[in-house]
């Protein structure tokens, strides 16, 4: 039986707690949040002893897995605290808010036997799994270009009420590091990190409310001349994410969790993999349950969990390159630290 705990009892913690209900051999023993109202709500729904400090919880409970569902700036320090005690960690995205934090976490992973998994759950979406399989089979030939568009609805209240969103020291950025990081991760999961990133950022919808970006356009170039156009901005509605890969002999269009494959003779196959979301916003998808289930299965069977910190290097470095390019108004190579 794995004894589990959740730190951070806000919006996404419900998705973790609900997913844990469906994972056998787990028991949610403790919950931690300095906000007593929030932690009490989760404890009432899912059980577990209540704490207001992570260190108190780790000192007093025997925990096998810590789920980190706190604001971005706390991910790395909290993961370090757990890993050094030999506690496995399943951490929400982003993996870090700076190159320094990322490097510190990488170092900690090398000096512990505990496992670290990152919640990039969209890698488990049916449409993504199938698209990756088709691309790797090279049925459609090589990718010659791609585009990605993320237009979700995030109001001023979403930022101002949180106490951390839209603040550089707490969130690490704006729309890119919080929402469209998922799509950048899928892009690089399928295509790898680009060799050159040129980006611009703006704040069209929320000036005076947040100081960070609510919109980004980025041009990602690969050595073989393949290029990706990536765009994200706030919208009046949560529109499904659009990801399109153009290949030598056809194309793949992912919209939300549907996939349309078009072949060179103009015939196509379409499948919608959408599963109804019961516990969170529809745009979060339903793949947390799949990712969390696999994390525990890997622990139980001592297998390698695929969504490691190392696996997020391409998307993390690309994200940081987008920010640096927009800030310094020049092209950046992912991994370059300026």
Asked whether position 67 contacts ligand NAD by CB under 6 A, the answer is: no
Give the residue with the Cβ less far from ligand NAD, 178 or 262: 178
Give the residue with the Cβ less far from ligand NAD, 11 or 103: 11
CA dihedral 67, 25, 289, 275 (to 10 degrees): -160
Question: Can you tell me which of 46, 58, 65, 72 binds ligand NAD, judged by CB under 6 A?
Answer: 72
Q: Could you give the CA distance from residue 329 to residue 323 in angstroms, rounded to a whole number? A: 10
Quick one: angle between helices 99-110 and 72-84, nearest 10? 20
Residues 290-329 close enough to bind ligand NAD by CB under 6 A: none
Nearest to residue 235, comparing CAs of 204, 280, 213? Answer: 204
Residue 152 beta carbon to ligand NAD: minimum distance, rounded to whole angstroms: 11
Give the residue with the Cβ less far from ligand NAD, 71 or 194: 71
Strand order in the sheet with 116-119: 49-51, 26-32, 2-7, 65-68, 88-92, 116-119
For 45-68, give the DSSP string. HH--EEES-HHHHHHHS--SEEEE
- Specify the stretch interacting with ligand NAD by CB under 6 A; choose among 5-13, 141-149, 201-209, 230-238: 5-13
Asked whether position 80 contacts ligand NAD by CB under 6 A, the answer is: no
**C-alpha distances in Å from residue 257, one per residue of 185, 213, 242:** 15, 26, 10
Q: Could you give the CA distance from residue 163 to residue 140 in angstroms, rounded to a whole number? A: 47
Beta strands in 100-214 (DSSP E): 116-119, 143-152, 196-202
Residue 268 beta carbon to ligand NAD: minimum distance, rounded to whole angstroms: 29
282 DSSP assignment: G
Residue 104 beta carbon to ligand NAD: minimum distance, rounded to whole angstroms: 17
Asked whether position 119 contacts ligand NAD by CB under 6 A, the answer is: yes
Question: Can you tell me which of 64, 92, 212, 213 binds ligand NAD, judged by CB under 6 A?
Answer: 92
Binding mask 147-166 for ligand NAD (x = CB under 6 A): ---------------x----
Nearest to residue 24, comparing CAs of 304, 308, 292? Answer: 292
Question: Can you tell me which of 19, 69, 76, 309 binds ligand NAD, judged by CB under 6 A?
Answer: 69
Question: Can you tell me which of 74, 143, 149, 187 binds ligand NAD, judged by CB under 6 A?
Answer: 74
Asked whether position 256 contacts ligand NAD by CB under 6 A, the answer is: no
Question: Can you tell me which of 2, 4, 6, 9 binds ligand NAD, judged by CB under 6 A?
Answer: 9
Asked whether position 30 contacts ligand NAD by CB under 6 A, the answer is: no
Report yes or no: 52 and 39 within 8 Å, Cβ to Cβ. yes
Strand order in the sheet with 242-247: 196-202, 215-221, 227-234, 143-152, 242-247, 250-255, 258-263, 268-272
Q: Which residue has its beta carbon closest to ligand NAD?
A: 10
Asked whether position 11 contacts ligand NAD by CB under 6 A, the answer is: yes
Give the residue with the Cβ less far from ligand NAD, 115 or 165: 165
Binding residues vs ligand NAD (CB under 6 A): 7-12, 32-35, 38, 54, 69-72, 74, 92-93, 119, 121, 162, 178, 284
């Amino acid at each position: 039986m794995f004894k589990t705990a959740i730190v951070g009892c806000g919006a996404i913690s419900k998705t973790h707690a609900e997913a844990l209900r469906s994972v056998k051999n787990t028991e949610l023993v403790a919950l931690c949040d300095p906000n007593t109202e929030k932690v009490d709500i989760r404890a009432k729904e899912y059980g577990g002893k209540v704490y207001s400090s992570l260190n108190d919880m780790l000192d007093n409970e025997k925990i096998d897995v810590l789920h980190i569902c706190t604001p971005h700036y706390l991910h790395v320090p909290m993961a370090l605290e757990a890993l050094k005690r030999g506690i496995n960690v399943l951490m929400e995205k982003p993996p870090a808010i700076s190159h320094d934090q990322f490097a510190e976490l990488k170092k900690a992973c090398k000096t512990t036997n505990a496992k670290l998994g990152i919640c990039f759950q969209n890698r488990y979406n049916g449409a993504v799994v199938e698209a990756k399989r088709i691309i790797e089979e090279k049925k459609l030939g090589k990718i010659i270009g791609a585009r990605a568009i993320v237009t979700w609805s995030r109001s001023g209240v979403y930022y101002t009420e949180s106490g951390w969103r839209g603040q550089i020291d707490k969130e690490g950025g704006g729309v890119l590091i919080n929402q469209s990081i998922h799509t950048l991760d899928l892009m690089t999961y399928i295509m790898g990190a680009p060799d050159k990133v040129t980006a611009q950022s703006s704040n069209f919808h929320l000036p005076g409310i947040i100081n960070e970006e609510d919109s980004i356009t980025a041009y990602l170039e690969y050595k073989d001349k393949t290029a990706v156009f990536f765009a994200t901005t706030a919208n009046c509605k949560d529109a499904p994410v659009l990801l399109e890969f153009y290949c030598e002999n056809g194309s793949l269009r992912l919209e939300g969790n549907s996939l349309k494959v078009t072949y060179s003779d103009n015939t196509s196959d379409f499948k919608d993999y959408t599963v109804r979301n019961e516990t969170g916003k529809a745009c979060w998808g339903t793949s947390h349950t799949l990712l969390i289930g696999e994390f525990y299965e890997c622990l139980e069977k001592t297998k390698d969990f695929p969504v490691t910190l190392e696996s997020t290097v391409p998307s993390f470095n690309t994200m940081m390159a987008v920010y640096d390019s927009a800030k310094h108004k020049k092209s950046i190579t992912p991994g370059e630290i300026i």
